[in-house]
Amino acid sequence: MRKKALVVAVVAIAVVAIFVVFVEKENVISPAPTPSEPMRGRNILMVIAPEDFRDEELFEPKEIFEKKGAEVTIASTTTEMAKGMFGRTIKPDLRISDVNVEDYDAIVIVGGAGSKEYLWDDKELRAMVKEAYNKNKVLAAICLSPVVLAKAGILDGKKATVFPHKEAIDELKKNGAYYVDENVVVSDNVITGRDTESTEEFSLKICDALLSHEEMEGNQ
């Protein structure tokens, strides 16, 4: 009987210990971002064409964002393997049509020749951009993709840059943007980049915008 009672007691103690550990795990508070990871907890959606996106404009910003602690999700018109202009490939996490804007702090539209063919006139992407803008998300586009923002109507009255291609510049102007030939242009929560050479500056401006949003939210 004593042995049986001892076994029961040991089992009971073990169950209590497991329960305590579980409760403590559930109540763990995530540590504050370290200086090397100031964007931990931030979610960034990067949108690419299913083919002929500009490789550097996806992978370089993605690396910068992730090194700073952000979570990066890739969206496209399909979840089939996407291929860049210079051969790099990536499998998108979800379709543009399946994006929930509320899940992201920033939306970044990658450029490349495929942007004109697949993204400029994508109605679902345009609707997503409008929704994100109305919800005060950070919006960014580089190379040929600022045209997407222009066609969504969010560059009206704003300064913006784009790859120096006549049709792209004309689209910005036609939709009310003030085109400027600069590497990166920040207008409120909208960031536009001119070309691949602007990629690093473009990426860092997005990081700055996200951190500024965080400070504003913390002061409210």
* Cα–Cα distance, 110 to 56 (Å, whole number): 9
Structural domain count of the chain: 2
- Hey, what's the torsion of the CAs at 92, 57, 162, 53, to 10 degrees? -50
pLDDT tens sequence across 85-101: 999 999 999 999 999 99
Could you tell me if 160 and 204 lie in one domain? yes
* Cα–Cα distance, 169 to 192 (Å, whole number): 13
pLDDT tens sequence across 159-208: 999 999 999 999 999 999 999 999 999 999 999 999 999 999 999 999 99
- Report pLDDT for 198: 97
Could you tell me if 11 and 108 lie in one domain? no
Q: How far is CA 67 from the centre of its chain?
A: 14
Q: Would you place residue 212 in the very low, low, confident or very high pLDDT band (cuts 50, 70, 90)?
A: confident
- pTM for the whole structure: 0.84
Domain assignment of residue 160, given as a range: 43-218
Residue 187 lies in a domain: yes
Provide the CATH number for the domain around residue 169: 3.40.50.880
Identify the CA nearest to 149 among candidates 181, 182, 115, 183: 115
Residue 180 lies in a domain: yes
- Report pLDDT for 215: 53
- Report pLDDT for 37: 87
- The proportion of the chain whose per-residue pLDDT surpasses 70, expressed as a percent, equals 81
Could you tell me if 117 and 200 lie in one domain? yes
Could you tell me if 113 and 182 lie in one domain? yes
Could you tell me if 24 and 62 lie in one domain? no
